[in-house]
Amino acid sequence: MMIGLLESDHFPLMEIIEMHKIFGTNKGVEYVHRKGAYLIPIKNNCIGIVQTSKGLFFLGGGIDNEETDTLCIIRECLEEIGYSVLIKKKVCSAETYTKHSEICYFHPIQTYYLGELVEQKQPPIESDHKLIWMDYDNLRGKMFLEMQNWALEQCWNTFKKEK
């Protein structure tokens, strides 16, 4: 059963130009560092995201142990929405220094990929995550995290250039 595929496993990727942006300021305190990987699927000029009680987020999450970005995205998409995925292209990454209500000082480092949802393989495990599709103009500026708003713009611009 195929649950995820990285396009470069079978097809050469186009030239990759990496962009990275840092949000917030490192205050010199001890931070909880958390790497994560996220998929931005685009279908019929709409972007697939998850809606939770907190707000709008990309599909994906924190990387477990020695997990790769690819395995993290595959696992998170199955847990959040029950879908298998096709990961096409790494677009950008971002990190932020912030104070989190539960973790205290938090430093998430996120990498973002364009891709597709292939098919639903199972019911979602995370019942509070609802898959929704929004066009870019309606979604722009509405992601819960500032760095995901920035990543949305980078991914959308990359998608439009390659279309």
Q: Which residues contact 104 (CB under 8 A, 6 or more apart)?
A: 32
List the domains of the chain with CATH numbers.
4-162 (3.90.79.10)
What is the DSSP secondary-structure string of 104-136?
EEEEEEEEEEEEEEEEE-S--S-TT-EEEEEEH
pTM of the model: 0.88
Q: Report the alpha-carbon distance of residue 87 to residue 79 in Å, rounded.
A: 16
Q: Mark the ranges of the chain whose per-residue pLDDT is less than 50.
A: 1-3, 5, 7-16
pLDDT at 2: 45
Pair 92, 151: CB distance under 8 Å:
yes
Using an 8 Å Cβ cutoff, are 110 and 143 in contact?
no
